[in-house]
A and B are shown apart, each in its own frame.
Chain A
Amino acid sequence: MTYIPISPAERDAMLKTVGVKSLDDLFEAIPAKHRFPDLNLPPALTEMEAGAHLGDMASSNENVREHLISFLGAGAYHHYIPSVVDHILRRGEFYTAYTPYQPEISQGTLQAIFEYQSLMTNLTGMEVSNASHYDGATATAEAVNLAYAQFRGKRKKIVMSPTVHPQYREVIRTYTQAMGLEEVGDDASNHEVTPEAMISLIDESTMLVVVQYPDFFGRIFDYKKLIDAAHEKGALVCVVANPTALLMLKSPGEMGADIVVGEAQPFGIPLWYGGPYLGFFTTKKSYVHKMAGRLVGETVDARGNRSYVLTLTAREQHIKRERATSNICTNQGLLALGCSVYMSVLGKQGLQEVANLCYQKAHYAAAELSKIDGFGLCHVEPFFHEFVLCCPKPASEVNQYLLDNGILGGYDLGKDYPDMQNHLLVAVTEMNSKDEIDSLVEILKEMK
């Protein structure tokens, strides 16, 4: 009866109105032999006990704020979240509301999503943003769905860069396993392929080219030539972008990208052991009807007030059913709000400071690390806040050594790229002080 506000007397009065004698009488439609199973679950805890139990579980983890110095990124980044963000997210008016189907009493959620869409289009340089997807990986898979729908199944080839996040590529393979697509370029042993070299893979049957910016190794490429070449063959290009990097770097929209997606976790969402995060999805206006997901548009109400509604809903599953581009119904509403609050409260200048700190600290770390005997930077291309460190022994051993010294090292690239066993992907953000970077360097110097 933890949260049930009905007294025994009220219950009996209600049963009488319904015309049954007991609660159990309400369930006669259920096959008797399976009715009321005994569930083998632990007995109920009170709030005090549950809080303590969950507290014990949480504190048996080693976390990156209290226990470990972290240089781990690879798709999830430890950034500072201003206090205001969680204060707004804790408003019951936001977090206990449903999808805004009744716009008259959901203008808070609707205007917030409209503003989120606007922040994302301004960041990516695109014309349209939807209300968000589950995460960066599924947003990328939805880009494939868009391209497939756009060509009505007449083009079936995807050109996939091997330096798109390995898990994103895996998710795309899962999503498309029954679509009969051809995927080329996704070869882990060919990870040094340049954008220009990918051009030869694009032909008249290509529906979509997928690249990452900066790529999984942190490298910054200008994709303009690749995009122009894809457009010559009539193909679309999806750029998977890191939003923090976009604060400093040329936007994919400026390079001519057709779809820009990515993981907006760095914008105000805690690491939270991998989720929930926030997949952003932006594109050109001409593809809006093929885009999956919720979309908010501006209008007026009967009293002449500017207001907002879910629009183009006939694209979606509840109306279009099996002909819809995707079955998605929800977005990551609350986290899109968190992202908007993060961007608003840091503002243009605060965000630029975040980007600059990431860039400066990562470059300091890279410079110092590459001075250590046996270590060096693996790539010469410009990078933003993540880079590949070539190590004198397997990255897994380097990481174990660092962990023994209280440091969460980088990402072991050997897991996904067989010839990169000695390669460590190192991420540095504004959360890493110079002292932390210096101690990483010192500890690695002493590694035997």
Chain B
Amino acid sequence: MNTPSNLKYTKSDEWFDPATGAVGISDYAQSQLSDIVFVEILVDEGEEVTAGKAIASVESVKASSEIYAPAAGKVSAVNKGLSDAPETLNSDPFGAAWMIKIEGGSAGEVMDAAEYEKYCEGRSH
């Protein structure tokens, strides 16, 4: 499992990059969902979001999940190409598969990489 150390993580498996404001789902989340076939971003550029608000919906062959904002703030960018290539969420969850960027906001309840890894281990049984 890949867990970049520069990112923050939520209990619902989103990652948040404090440096850029980018948001996505973790490697753990994509492997649990397995083959992702659909993603829909539920917020528009310029919209204000609160931490915990649903910002995207993801469907795989077997499961469906909502993705929540890990931080509050204004949506400064939306990855518009993602819905045409949902499989990117499986192949590059921390890179090309970023979902939105949140600007000027404060992070909600987040963990650092080490804490998150431990948290995931605790769930794998």
Contacts and interface: CB of A to CB of B under 8 A. Distances in A.
27 contacts: A152-B42, A289-B38, A289-B40, A289-B59, A312-B37, A312-B38, A312-B59, A313-B61, A313-B62, A314-B37, A314-B38, A314-B59, A314-B60, A314-B62, A314-B63, A314-B64, A315-B38, A315-B59, A315-B64, A319-B62, A319-B63, A319-B64, A320-B59, A320-B64, A323-B57, A323-B64, A323-B66
Interface residues of B, number: 12
B104 to A, nearest CB: 24
Contacts of A315: 38, 59, 64
A318 to B, nearest CB: 10
Contacts of B37: 312, 314
A398 to B, nearest CB: 54
Interface string A289-322: 1000000000000000000000011110001100
Nearest to A315: B59
A324 to B, nearest CB: 9
B107 to A, nearest CB: 25
Interface residues of A, number: 9
Contacts of B66: 323
Contacts of A320: 59, 64
Contacts of A314: 37-38, 59-64
A313 B42 CA distance: 20
Interface in B55-77: 57, 59-64, 66
A314 B37 CA distance: 9
Closest 10 CB pairs of A and B: A314-B59, A314-B64, A320-B64, A319-B64, A289-B38, A314-B63, A314-B60, A152-B42, A319-B63, A315-B59
Nearest to A286: B83
A313 B59 CA distance: 9
Given A312-B38, A314-B60, 13 more contacts: A152-B42, A289-B38, A289-B59, A313-B61, A313-B62, A314-B37, A314-B38, A319-B62, A319-B64, A320-B64, A323-B57, A323-B64, A323-B66
A401 B109 CA distance: 77
B58 to A, nearest CB: 9
A312 B57 CA distance: 14
A382 to B, nearest CB: 42
A447 to B, nearest CB: 60
A409 to B, nearest CB: 51
A312 B59 CA distance: 8
Interface centre among A312, A314, A319, A323 (most CB of B within 10 A): A314
Contacts of B62: 313-314, 319
A319 B66 CA distance: 12
A313 B62 CA distance: 7
Interface string B29-61: 000000001101010000000000000010111
A289 B60 CA distance: 12
A320 B59 CA distance: 9
A252 B87 CA distance: 33
A152 B41 CA distance: 11
Interface in A206-230: none
Interface string A72-105: 0000000000000000000000000000000000
